[in-house]
Each structure stands twice: as structure tokens, then as C-alpha cells.
């Protein structure tokens, strides 16, 4: 008899370990509900919010230790109660902490629940994370807000495949840091945004705009080398989409001039790449892109350099102005292939293959006209006047 009793005790105690946390959580939940009640007999005329919040928190932690679906739902219910109580107390930080714990639980147990109103579990997680970030911002805590928003961006990208939503979240993170003038932190988020846009091929205008914003932030922090790398990245993106006008304009941007970009090694490499791309010389372009300096760019931009190829039929009209006409096919480097015949009919060309004064009103971007000189020579010639705008007449042959 004693042997059977001891074996049943051991099996009961071993099997009851999982239920003990659930039972403990139920006890804390009952105490929390009792703390929320009022009683005229005991002269308790208002709920004890502090005790209730602590008990609900303890109950949620106990329920989280139980892997069952029932315990997961109870844990979510208790965290919701904590959020409601902290909101009543106007404790934004406490509500944010509870929402963050709730988002973590949803992420770890996403297979145990379904989204509300037909939404996916990832949508619910992102919603809770954004609510937590909003509470953190109300509490004046920008760093935790950005941290949880970055998690939401990853969930948007990897869980839902919503790239635009992830971009919006990262842009919100940047605006938070810019409001508080935390430029180094904003620069870090810009790197995440640039990588996201480059991975999914959102080159124009999103990626080019992000690179411009990153250069502006780097200029505020005085990171000259970072600006040089950002200009090189912008040149690679412009060549990838086949926009030579934007590529050459990026080499002579105001930020680049103000930070002595024209005298740097990065400028020489970027200008050589533009010249090789313009001339259609695959060997020259490959030789330039083999320089180790390109490897210091973001990983996604480095991948673009490996796939970059010069456009065909350069030396004709379509090579000098990619904005005139584009066909639907892409070149080997991901840029658009130009309709040379239509481009040639749009402008007058002299014997040297340069634009002659004529119908230049079709250009929609500044610096439309180009010379036959190399990119480095023309930019260094005009670089003596960085504050002056180069007119079309000066650039015409």
C-alpha cells in the first residue's frame, strides 16, 4: 500500500508542475479582481489600482510559464488589464512596458492565437508594438520607442511582406530622433532604411531620397568619410537605374562640395565608374569596381556594384540623356535600356557626338546638357565655383 501511495504521489507531483503555475496565476488573478472591487462594509470606496496592477502582472508572468493555449489567452488578458489600469493612472511608461511584454508574448506564441477580425498574427503584433511605442513617446522615452518600432519594421518586412509599411515605420523612427536632434542615432536608422530599400529594389525615389537624408544627417555630425561613402552609394544606385544625369549631379551636390569631396579618393573612383559606364566599357567598369573602397559601402549597395554593367550603344544620343526616352527592357545592371532612335530625333548632334544648342526645353532636371569631357575633368573645372549654378550653355559643346 505504501508503495502504491508513494508512486501515485510522485506521478501526481510530477504531472502537477505544469498546472501549479496555472493555479498560481489564477490565485493572483483572483486577488487582482478583488483589489478592483469596492465595498461599503469594509469602507473601501475606490479600487486599489496599484495592488491590482501588480497582481495582474504576477498572474500574467505565471500564465506565460505554461505553454498551453489556455494559459496564453489568460496571460494576454492579464496584460490587457495592466494596460487599462496604467492608462487610468496616466502612467504611460507602465502601460508601454505592459504592451511590450504583451508583444513579446504574441511573438513567441504566435501559433497559439489568431488575429482579430481576420487579421494575421503579425498584424496584431505590429499593432501592439506601435501602441507600446506611442506610450513610450508620451512618457518621453524616445529610445525604447524606436527600439520597439524597429522590431515592428522587421515584422512588417519578414512576417507580412509589407515593405511600404516597414519603410513608413523606419521613417517614423528617423523623425523621432530628428525631433530630439539625436543625429548619430538617426544615422543608424537611416542605414537600416537604406538597406531595406536596396534589398527590395525601391531605388527611385525612395532610396535616392534616403541617401540624401543620410548625407544631410552626416553633415550635421561632421562625418566626412560617411558622406563620401553615401555619395558613392548614390552613384551606384543612379547607374543601376540608368540615370546618368542624376549620377553626375550627385558627384557635384552641395553636400559633396562643402565637404571637399572633389579631392577625395572616393570621388576619383565614383567619377571613373561614371565615365566607364558612360562609354560602355565593361572592362574599365569592372576594373574600377574591383577597388577595395567599394566594399566599405552598405552590403546591399555592394551587391548592386557586382551586378552593374554599362549600357549599350553609348556614344549615341541615348547615352547622353537617359531622360529622353526609355524602353520597357532593363539592361544587365538593372537600369533601363534607352530608345536611341527616338532620343536622337529629340536633339541635334554635332560630329563629336555632343549636344548642340537647340531644343533643350525637354530636360526636366538641372544640368541637362553634357560635354564630351570626362566626368572628373568637367566637375573639377566647375568645382572652382561650388556655390554657382552651372548653366546649360556652359555645359553645351
* pLDDT tens-digit readout, 217-232: 999 998 999 999 999 9
Q: Is the dihedral of CA 251, 233, 307, 365 positive or negative?
A: negative
Maximum Cα–Cα distance across the chain: 112
Closest listed residue to residue 255, CA positions, set 293, 214, 295, 197: 214
Those residues whose C-beta lies under 8 Å from the C-beta of residue 306, and which sit 6 or more positions away, are: 289
Closest listed residue to residue 286, CA positions, set 237, 319, 333: 333
Per-residue pLDDT at 303 exceeds 80 = yes
CA distance 59 to 64: 9
Per-residue pLDDT at 394 exceeds 80 = no
- Give the other-Cβ count within 10 Å of 193's Cβ: 25
Per-residue pLDDT at 97 exceeds 50 = yes
Q: What whole-number percentage of the chain has pLDDT above 90?
A: 54
CA distance 4 to 350: 106
Per-residue pLDDT at 386 exceeds 60 = no
Per-residue pLDDT at 368 exceeds 60 = no
Mean pLDDT of 391-396: 42
Cis peptide preceding 205, ω within 30 of 0: yes
Closest listed residue to residue 145, CA positions, set 78, 193, 99: 99
CA distance 218 to 213: 9
Query: Is there a contact between 113 and 73 (Cβ–Cβ < 8 Å)?
Result: yes
CA distance 102 to 107: 9
pLDDT band at 114 (very low <50, low <70, confident <90, very high): low
pLDDT of residue 5: 37
Phi, psi of 156 (to 5 degrees): -65, -40
Write out pLDDT tens, residues 8-55: 333 333 444 445 788 999 999 999 999 999 887 777 788 899 999 999
C-alpha cell at 331: 539592361
pLDDT band at 95 (very low <50, low <70, confident <90, very high): very high
Give the distance from CA 214 to its chain's centroid.
12
Mean pLDDT of 253-279: 88
Burial 361-384 (b: 16+ CB within 10 A, else e): eebeeebbbbbeeebbebbbebbe
Mean pLDDT of 264-270: 92
Write out pLDDT tens, residues 369-381: 333 345 555 554 4
Per-residue pLDDT at 57 exceeds 70 = yes
| Residue 139 CB burial class (10 angstroms; 0-12, 13-18, ≥19) | middle
Write out pLDDT tens, residues 129-158: 999 999 999 999 999 999 999 999 999 999
Mean pLDDT of 109-118: 64
Mean pLDDT of 317-342: 37
Burial 237-260 (b: 16+ CB within 10 A, else e): bbbbbbbbbbbbbbbbbebbbebe
C-alpha cell at 95: 502601460
DSSP 110: G
298 vs 389 pLDDT, higher one: 298
pLDDT band at 260 (very low <50, low <70, confident <90, very high): confident
Cα angle: 211, vertex 129, 87; to 5 degrees = 130
Query: Is there a contact between 152 and 133 (Cβ–Cβ < 8 Å)?
Result: yes
Ramachandran bin of 167, using left for φ above 0, alpha for ψ from -120 to 50, beta for the remaining angles: alpha
Average pLDDT, the chain: 77
- For residue 130, what are the CA distances in angstroms to 149, 189, 222, 258? 6, 17, 32, 39
pLDDT band at 347 (very low <50, low <70, confident <90, very high): very low
Those residues whose C-beta lies under 8 Å from the C-beta of residue 138, and which sit 6 or more positions away, are: 92
Query: Is there a contact between 128 and 103 (Cβ–Cβ < 8 Å)?
Result: yes
pLDDT of residue 342: 38
Amino acid at each position: 500500500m505504501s508503495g502504491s501511495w508513494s508512486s501515485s504521489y510522485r506521478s501526481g507531483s510530477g504531472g502537477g508542475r505544469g498546472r501549479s503555475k496555472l493555479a498560481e496565476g489564477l490565485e493572483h488573478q483572483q486577488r487582482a479582481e478583488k483589489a478592483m472591487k469596492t465595498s461599503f462594509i469594509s469602507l473601501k470606496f475606490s479600487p486599489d489600482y496599484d495592488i491590482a496592477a501588480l497582481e495582474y502582472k504576477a498572474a500574467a508572468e505565471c500564465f506565460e510559464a505554461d505553454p498551453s493555449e489556455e494559459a496564453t489567452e489568460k496571460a494576454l488578458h492579464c496584460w490587457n488589464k495592466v494596460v487599462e489600469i496604467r492608462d487610468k493612472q496616466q502612467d504611460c511608461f507602465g502601460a508601454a512596458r505592459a504592451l511590450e511584454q504583451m508583444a513579446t508574448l504574441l511573438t513567441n506564441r504566435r501559433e497559439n492565437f489568431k488575429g482579430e477580425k481576420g487579421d494575421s498574427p503579425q498584424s496584431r503584433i505590429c499593432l501592439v508594438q506601435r501602441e507600446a511605442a506611442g506610450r513610450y513617446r508620451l512618457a518621453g522615452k524616445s529610445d525604447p520607442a524606436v527600439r520597439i518600432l524597429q522590431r515592428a519594421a522587421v515584422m512588417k518586412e519578414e512576417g507580412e511582406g509589407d515593405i511600404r509599411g516597414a519603410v513608413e515605420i523606419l521613417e517614423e523612427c528617423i523623425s523621432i530622433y530628428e525631433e530630439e536632434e539625436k543625429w548619430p542615432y538617426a544615422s543608424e536608422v537611416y542605414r537600416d532604411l537604406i538597406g531595406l530599400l536596396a534589398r527590395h529594389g525601391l531605388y527611385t525615389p525612395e532610396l535616392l531620397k534616403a541617401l540624401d537624408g543620410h548625407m544631410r544627417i552626416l553633415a550635421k555630425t561632421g562625418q566626412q568619410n560617411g558622406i563620401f561613402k553615401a555619395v558613392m552609394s548614390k552613384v551606384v544606385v543612379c547607374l543601376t537605374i540608368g540615370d546618368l544625369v542624376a549620377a553626375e549631379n550627385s558627384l557635384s551636390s552641395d553636400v559633396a562640395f562643402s565637404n571637399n569631396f572633389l579631392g577625395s579618393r572616393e570621388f576619383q573612383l565614383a567619377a571613373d565608374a561614371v565615365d566607364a559606364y558612360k562609354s560602355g566599357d565593361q572592362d574599365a567598369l569592372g576594373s574600377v569596381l574591383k577597388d577595395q573602397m567599394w566594399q566599405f559601402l552598405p552590403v546591399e549597395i555592394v551587391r548592386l556594384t557586382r551586378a552593374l554593367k554599362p549600357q549599350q550603344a553609348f556614344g549615341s544620343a541615348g547615352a547622353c540623356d537617359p531622360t529622353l526616352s526609355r524602353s520597357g527592357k532593363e539592361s544587365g545592371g538593372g537600369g533601363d535600356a534607352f530608345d536611341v532612335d527616338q532620343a536622337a530625333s529629340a536633339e541635334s548632334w554635332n560630329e563629336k557626338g555632343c549636344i548642340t544648342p537647340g531644343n533643350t526645353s525637354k530636360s526636366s532636371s538641372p544640368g541637362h546638357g553634357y560635354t564630351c569631357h570626362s566626368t572628373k575633368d568637367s566637375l573639377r573645372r566647375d568645382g572652382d565655383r561650388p556655390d554657382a549654378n552651372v548653366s546649360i550653355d556652359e555645359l553645351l559643346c
